[in-house]
Amino acid sequence: MHTALALMLLCPLAGAVFQAGWGSAVGRRASALAAALAVAGSFAAALVAFAGCGVAPTHVSFGAWLAFDGFSAQFSLLYDRIAAVMTVTVTFTALLIHLYSAGYMREDKSYARYFCYLNLFVFFMLVIALADDLVFLFLGWEGVGFCSFALIGFWHEDTKNVVAGCKAFITTRIGDLGYVAALGLTIASFGEASLTGLSAGAETLSPGLAAVIGFGFLFAALGKSAQLPLSSWLPDAMAGPTPVSALIHAATMVTAGVYLLMRLDPLLAYAPPVGATAALLGGATALYGACCALGQRDVKRILAYSTVSQVGYMFLAAGSADVTGALFHLQTHAFFKSLLFMCAGIMIQACHEEHDIFRMGAPLRRRYPGLFVLFSCGAAALAGIPFTSGYFSKGRTLADALTHPDPIFLLAFAMGTLAALLTAVYVFRMYFVAFFAEPADPAPLHDAPALHAMELPLWPLALLAVGYGFANPPEFLHIRPWLDHYLLGVTTPLPPHAVQAELFVESLDALLAFLGLVIAWHFYRPARHPAPAPDGLLTAGLGLDALYLKRLAAPYARLAAFAWRAIDEDVLDGAALGLASGLSGLSGAVGRAGGGRIAVSLAAVFTAVAAILAWVAFGWL
């Protein structure tokens, strides 16, 4: 087990080092192959560890790496069945995205730098999934933040890409302040900073302190997972290469916040307000993201707002203390959303870098029938068409909220239910417009064999998007829910009243999915020749960016300008210039008094030195 866990981490790290040192020298194909092999090795190690994982967790320590004043941070791992499912999901998805990237980045001159960042990202993501020590986990937390920044601004020749990377970096760092505060309180309370210690000692904390620590970690999770009020960075993060969007901004990094809440579930049991806040913000974000997706024309921005919305459902489940439900939706979302993002990458390249779905249409479907089938699988799962993976997992999160004893969860349920309807509407709007419409000004299409080859790694994801829901179906289907049984003894089982509510919720969810399909067909069917609506409030993300610019960024910029001009230039620089001018004048006066004679100048210097020494001596006395 120890060897498998070590290899799981070391393979992508070694891949990143190789890319940094020799990636450019070995050539494009060898560089891509080495990067994919590194992740394949990690995936194999994850499978071996998964096969050997029992109900009892495995603790592994590779020694201390930081120590001061009686505290030490450890390279320690906590491998349990939650981590086992998470690592297999991350490495499997990452492997397919690496294979896809080999085709997508086929003409990019900086392919070695790209694969270096991608391998490094997988390493840091696995640190988050496996770390027991919260300081070690923070290392991975910041590492994925750095890789996200580097990959969003990967094409740094374009300033807007760099700005988007900076926006993501700064916004997530704001959230990280919560992590640092909660980490400090944890160390002060327990003298150590491990998930194991925090879980074991949570009951000894006062309710107030447990809530403060929980809110600190929740704030960090909101930033990393692009939840309200820290959600505005994710749509702009689509400036990076599309496989990056599939890996970081759909399948892995944005779910890191949810995963952190899952790991902190024992603490949240003693801090109910934290769970309620997470569920409420999750429901609100699910609705917010679905509304904004309706107003987008850029296929990647539609999927980005969709990600914001879907991660909201995970927060809903995690806040309801259903770790299995949150993990289930995390997995299904990783499969169908990374599939949709990679389909979007092929669509964009096939249309000569055109992102607007209103310039795609039926010619794209006719030229790329395989792509159309793949996209259909992902869209069905995202819309919640019955018996697809997204249908089962989203219904589970809504059942959690509906049956929670706290009435505030009913509000979260209502927002999540409305978001489910809007999700079906924007998914089928995108589907009908991008694959069935006859646009008046279609983007030119080209039929490169490389684009068809890029479809190959997507088929496993399509199968999982459609069929993985049967890994954990609701009880009323009388099919053994594998995930629930696998995590039995590790997570709290679904309460009986939630099980009973699943039939109602799944029926409602199916009704909403078909209602959304009908609404989208009414407005966007090919016979209506749908045209894009003018940009409005939904396109602008309900004005959240403008609000932050006006209320936060602009006052900060004015304060910075004041500090620069009034304090730095006028006061500090002015004082320095005035002092220099005074000394210059004094020097001139002394020079003139001496008439240019050296003896007089030396006498003046000695007199000044004597005066200073006398002042110092009398000062001491």
CA–CA distance, 127 with 546 (Å, rounded to integer): 35
- Which tens digit of pLDDT belongs to each residue from 104-141? 998 888 989 999 999 999 999 999 999 999 999 999 99
- Which tens digit of pLDDT belongs to each residue from 168-196? 899 999 999 999 999 999 999 998 889 99
- Number of other residues whose CB lies within 10 A of the CB of residue 542: 16
pLDDT score recorded for residue 594? 63
Q: Are 402 and 413 in contact (CB under 8 A)?
A: yes
Radius of gyration of the chain (CA): 29
pLDDT score recorded for residue 262? 94
pLDDT score recorded for residue 596? 61
Which ranges of 368-495 does DSSP label H, i.e. alpha helix? Answer: 369-383, 389-402, 408-435, 449-453, 458-467, 482-486
CA–CA distance, 197 with 191 (Å, rounded to integer): 10
Quick one: CA torsion of 470, 472, 474, 479, rounded to 10 degrees?
60
User: Which residues, 6 or more positions from 306, have their beta carbon under 8 angstroms from its beta carbon?
Assistant: 289, 290, 293, 337, 382, 423, 426, 427
Two tokens, residue 41: 């090795």
pLDDT score recorded for residue 68? 77
Positions in the chain whose pLDDT score sits under 50: none
Global pTM reads 0.90
What secondary structure letter does DSSP report for 489?
T
What's the one-letter identity of residue 450?
A: A
Which ranges of 320-368 does DSSP label H, i.e. alpha helix? Answer: 323-350, 362-367
pLDDT score recorded for residue 66? 80
pLDDT score recorded for residue 603? 77
